[in-house]
A = this chain, B = another copy of it.
C-alpha cells in the first residue's frame, strides 16, 4: 500500500487508478496509504460542480478541462454524479468526447462510486481528492449531482462551488436551487440559448440580492450557450474558467482559504469517525449475533429501536 501511495505521489497514473479503486472498494489497508499521503495534500485548487441530473455538468467539465489546459494547468476530475456519462451508462458520443484527453498526461479523469454505507461516498470523495492532489494536479474538479443531502455534503470538500442551472426545468428545480443557493460561489446558467434563460437569470440575480455575502464575494452568474454552438460555448467556458481562478484568488487575498480548509477537514474527520466508530460497531454487532437478536426482538415487538439503541450505547460507548 505504501509503495502504491509513493508511486501515486510520483504521478504514476496506474498506481493512482488502483488507489482510487481501493477507495471505492474501501479495502482495509487503505488507511495505510491515506495516512502516508495526507501530510502531502493541500496544494490543489478543488472545484465542485453540482446541479440537477441533465444540467449538462459533464459537458461543462469536459470543456473546462480544455480551458484549464490552455492556461498550462494540470487537471484531475472525479466524477461522482451517478447520472454522469463519465461514471457509466454513457452514450458512445460521451465516451468519444472524453477520449480527446486520453493522451494528455496533464489530465486524469476517474469516476467514483461506492456501494453501501452512509457517509461512505463523502469519505471516498475526500480520499480521491487527496490522491489527485498528491499526483500534482493543479485543479481538481469534482462533479456531483446536487439533489440529495449526501450529494450536497460532498461539496464541502471543494474550495470553489459551481452550481449549474438550466432554463425550463420548472418549479421543482427552483427548490433544489434554493438548497444550493447558500453554498454556491459561481452560478452557471447552462443551455442559455433555451427559452427562459433570461427569466432564470433574473430570478437567480434577485435571489442573490436577497442574500448577503459575508466573505465579500458576490457569486457571478455566467450564461453558457448550448454546446451545439461550439464557438460561443467555448468562450463562455473560458469566462467561467477565469471566474474560478478569480474566486481562488479572492480566497487567498482575503485570508479565506483557511475557512474553506476548516470546512474540508471537518467533513473528513466526520467521515473517518463514521467509518471507525459506527461502521465498526455495526460490524461487530453483526459478528457477535447481537444484531440478529435485536432484529428478532423488533419483529416480535418485544422491544423498539429506541430502547435497543440506548442499550447498545450504554454497553459499547465509554
Contacts and interface: CB of A to CB of B under 8 A. Distances in A.
Given A38-B304, A276-B312, A304-B35, A53 B147 contact: yes
Interface residues of A, number: 78
Interface in A258-300: 258, 261-262, 265-266, 268-278, 280-282, 291, 294-295, 298-299
Interface string A220-253: 0000000000000000000000000000000000
Contact of A149 (B52, B89, B148, B175): B148
Contact of A53 (B52, B90, B118): B52
What does DSSP make chain A's interface, helix, strand, loop or mixed?
Answer: helix
A88 B306 contact: no
A179 interface: yes
A309 to B, nearest CB: 4
Contact of A306 (B83, B87, B272, B278): B272
Given A147-B53, A316-B318, A309 B83 contact: no
Interface string A41-84: 01000000000111000000000000000000000000000111
A114 B179 CA distance: 12
Contacts of A53: 52-53, 147, 169, 172-173, 176
A309 B280 CA distance: 11
Nearest to A279: B278
B147 A298 contact: no
